[in-house]
Structure 1
Amino acid sequence: MPKSDPPSDLPRRVTLKQVAQAAGVSLASASYALNGAGSVGEATREHVLKIAAQLGYRPNQSAKAMKTGRTGAIGLILPDLTNPFFPSLAQGVIQAARAHGYSVFLTDTGGSVEAEERAVGLMIDHGVDGVVWFPIADDVAPVERLIEGVPTVVIDRNLPGYDVIQADYAEGGRLAAEHLIAAGHVDIGVISGPHAASSARQRAEAAIAVVRERGALAWHVHNAFSLDLEPPVVEALEQRRATAVIAGADLIAIGVMRHVRAMGLSTPDDVSVVGFDDIPWAQLHTPALTTIDMPVEDMAAAAVETLVRRMAHRGEPRRRVVFNVELVARDSVKAPR
């Protein structure tokens, strides 16, 4: 005789049918009450919800997804969670998604194009209802082929065909340059983020235009969004031509201040520094970093709201939302000696 499986010690999932029986209502009424839809009285709804809570009922999301074609989850794809800017953005997206009744699958691509492709494929395989995506670079053709047909909102990059959430990066670059010039600086160096990112180029180009018009551009170099400075950046700093530096991100700016200190100089007495993003570290660093603030929470909420709207109305025209930025003056800037 075939052996029967031993009884499982795991508790069985409470079913919708059991909730309906315990509450003394029909299966349809129980479903309406738990899903907040359909024709059911408020007293009955409250009664069913109370019984469901007592029984420990949890909806079967897999069954719901098979029936509705929706999983109740969205994907969030970010380039680098070691950069404090992105955990702040992720927290904002998760909170906004929760308010709309969605859970969030979060992945960090580590700045790798190959990892970005795999992450998008994984999100699609898991059947997310939509995606909030912060691309690594402007060239996204491989990912676009994977994500085609899935409602998607892009943060930071102005990609054609997608709903886009951005900040006014050029205005940020202008504000940084004008602040240093107003403090009396003439010889100003600019460190932009990676050239592949259009937002990094916009920050740097706008800052450089102001510096060339009203001051003197000491040098212009590029760096990854990292504390670690690349050789051209170190070489530029050690020329000691610039009395002030505009960095394309707060992480770069903090890396600059560390290297200035290693050179036996100080910020802001010898070199003033302005960053971009206003990450939490900016005000905790010594000296506190003057920077350009981006409204991360507002951008995250707008991304989720735009995605929810896109999922409901796929044929609507593309939306592009641009948020204002502002300069936050702290201790890393003073008049040159």
Structure 2
Amino acid sequence: MSDVARAAGVSPALVSLAFRDAYGVSKSSRDHILATAAKMGYQPNRVASRLASKTDDTLGVFLLDLHNEVFADMFDGMREAAQLTGRELVLAVGSVSGGLDRPALDSLVRARVDVTIAAGLLLSDSELAAYSGRLPLVSVARIVPGFDAVASDNVLGASLAVEHLLSLGHRHIVHLASPPTDGYLGRREGYARAMKNAGLTPHVITCGYSRSAAFELVGPLLDSADRPTAIFTHNDQTALGVLDSVHSRGLRVPKDITVVGYDNTSATNLPGIDLTTIDLHPVDLGRRAAEIAVLRSKDPASEPMVEVFTPSLVVRASSAPPQL
């Protein structure tokens, strides 16, 4: 601001008033200051100005993986709600390995955001507890004790997927489950419960979060003499990896094997994929998480707010009765 003030021939205080559109600056002076700043390529430091004015207008956002469309869908909901309240979003991104969770959260602490909306955190509950008091969190798609959260009923969602497969006549159903970490056991639990209720033995294989991980992992399963008739995956990315592996072997979905995913990302509805999946309503989750973040910023001392959404089954062409 000092540089702009010198170039415009005014005081730094007047520059500050002009950029905040505050009372006491004539239109001609403000236009002159803004034009000078534009020529110099000046951009106001919103974090610094927020700290100086003690206003609450910035929300942090943590997304686990930009390659997974479910997080982009969640972000769309967050952005929509944030814009309605005049809040700006500061983004930090993790990785499917979980190794970037802590650095990403620490960067949001340093940015002094009011509240962080976190989608896909892989840190344990005890590790996240260390952020209590210094980084208010609204967890998306996972319930973390002591923090606000917006989640989907994953036990129910997985049960819906298995019950759909059972209704088609499948009995040999394999579940590619996410790594067993805090907050992400519901889909595994729902699958196992539905299988046992049907008098069947669960067959769980732990798989990472990426498409490539599923492609490699499922190969031996598809090549075995005792190939399952259906595979239910813990997210759509891994379901796409299963489809890749199936097609690479000259097999066909759903004639040779049925595949069901989880998340209902936009790619699942593309021609040639038509993936049956569970819709956790990611845009709605993101929107509500941002609304709760705004409420939290206004009332830091209130009890944690936790809301659980009901998922739904979306049936497409990738599921059909087994070929006997």
TM-score range for the pair, normalised by the shorter chain length: 0.7 to 0.9
Aligned to 1:205: 189
**Aligned partners of 1:138 and 1:157 also within 8 Å:** no
Aligned to 1:95: 80
SS in 2 for 1:153: strand
Aligned to 1:252: 238
Aligned to 2:148: 163
SS in 2 for 1:327: strand
Equivalent residue for 1:68, pick from 45, 53, 73: 53
Aligned to 1:115: 100
Asked if 1:222 corresponds to 2:190, the answer is no
- Superposition CA RMSD, Å: 3.3
Instruction: Give, in whole Å, the separation in 2 of the partners of 1:182 and 1:330.
Output: 15
Instruction: Please state how far the C-alpha of 1:153 moved relative to its aligned partner.
Output: 0.7
Question: For 1:3-14, what aligned pairs fall within 5 Å after superposition?
Answer: none
| 1:302/1:291 CA distance change after superposition, 3 Å | same
Residues 25-71 of structure 1 show CA distances to partners (whole Å, capped at 9, x for unaligned) of 964xx8xxxxxxxxxxxxxxxxx999968975998745642443236
Instruction: Give, in whole Å, the separation in 2 of the partners of 1:255 and 1:269.
Output: 18
Aligned to 1:15: 15
Instruction: Give, in whole Å, the separation in 1 of the partners of 2:283 and 2:9.
Output: 40
Instruction: Please state how far the C-alpha of 1:130 moved relative to its aligned partner.
Output: 1.1
| 1:63/1:108 CA distance change after superposition, 3 Å | closer
Aligned to 2:39: none
Aligned to 1:129: 114
Aligned to 1:37: none
Instruction: Give, in whole Å, the separation in 1 of the partners of 2:196 and 2:28.
Output: 68
Instruction: Please state how far the C-alpha of 1:150 moved relative to its aligned partner.
Output: 2.8
Q: Identify the range of structure 1 (72-81 vs 109-118) with the bigger mean alpha-carbon deviation.
A: 109-118
> What amino acid is aligned across from residue 241 of structure 2 in structure 1?
G
Instruction: Please state how far the C-alpha of 1:113 moved relative to its aligned partner.
Output: 4.1
Question: Larger Cα Rg: Structure 1 or Structure 2?
Answer: 1
Q: Identify the range of structure 1 (201-210 vs 49-58) with the bigger mean alpha-carbon deviation.
A: 49-58
> What amino acid is aligned across from residue 208 of structure 1 in structure 2?
A
TM-score by length of 1: 0.80
Aligned to 1:236: 221
Identity of aligned residues (%): 25
In the alignment, structure 2 segments of 5+ residues that lack a partner are 36-42
| 1:160/1:71 CA distance change after superposition, 3 Å | same
SS in 2 for 1:190: strand
Instruction: Give, in whole Å, the separation in 2 of the partners of 1:271 and 1:55.
Output: 67
SS in 2 for 1:336: coil
Instruction: Give, in whole Å, the separation in 1 of the partners of 2:281 and 2:74.
Output: 10
Aligned to 2:124: 139
Aligned to 2:38: none
> What amino acid is aligned across from residue 108 of structure 1 in structure 2?
V
Task: Tell which has more relative contact order, 1 or 2 (C-alpha 8 A, sep 6+).
Answer: 2
Aligned to 2:294: 308
Equivalent residue for 1:296, pick from 272, 279, 282: 282
Instruction: Give, in whole Å, the separation in 2 of the partners of 1:10 and 1:53.
Output: 11
SS in 1 for 2:243: helix
Q: Identify the range of structure 1 (151-160 vs 168-177) with the bigger mean alpha-carbon deviation.
A: 151-160
Instruction: Give, in whole Å, the separation in 1 of the partners of 2:27 and 2:132.
Output: 38
> What amino acid is aligned across from residue 246 of structure 1 in structure 2?
F
Aligned to 2:67: 82
TM-score by length of 2: 0.83
Aligned to 1:326: 312
Instruction: Give, in whole Å, the separation in 1 of the partners of 2:75 and 2:28.
Output: 33
SS in 1 for 2:179: coil
Residues 136-174 of structure 1 show CA distances to partners (whole Å, capped at 9, x for unaligned) of 325144454245333221112211110111001111101
Q: Identify the range of structure 1 (98-107 vs 68-77) with the bigger mean alpha-carbon deviation.
A: 68-77
Instruction: Give, in whole Å, the separation in 2 of the partners of 1:51 and 1:99.
Output: 31
Asked if 1:105 corresponds to 2:93, the answer is no
Aligned to 1:44: none
Asked if 1:265 corresponds to 2:284, the answer is no
Residues 235-265 of structure 1 show CA distances to partners (whole Å, capped at 9, x for unaligned) of 2332243111111111111111221222222
> What amino acid is aligned across from residue 269 of structure 1 in structure 2?
K
Asked if 1:287 corresponds to 2:310, the answer is no
Asked if 1:278 corresponds to 2:267, the answer is no
> What amino acid is aligned across from residue 296 of structure 1 in structure 2?
P
Instruction: Give, in whole Å, the separation in 1 of the partners of 2:265 and 2:239.
Output: 11
Aligned to 1:186: 171
> What amino acid is aligned across from residue 138 of structure 2 in structure 1?
V
Equivalent residue for 1:196, pick from 178, 181, 184: 181
Asked if 1:153 corresponds to 2:107, the answer is no
| 1:276/1:171 CA distance change after superposition, 3 Å | same
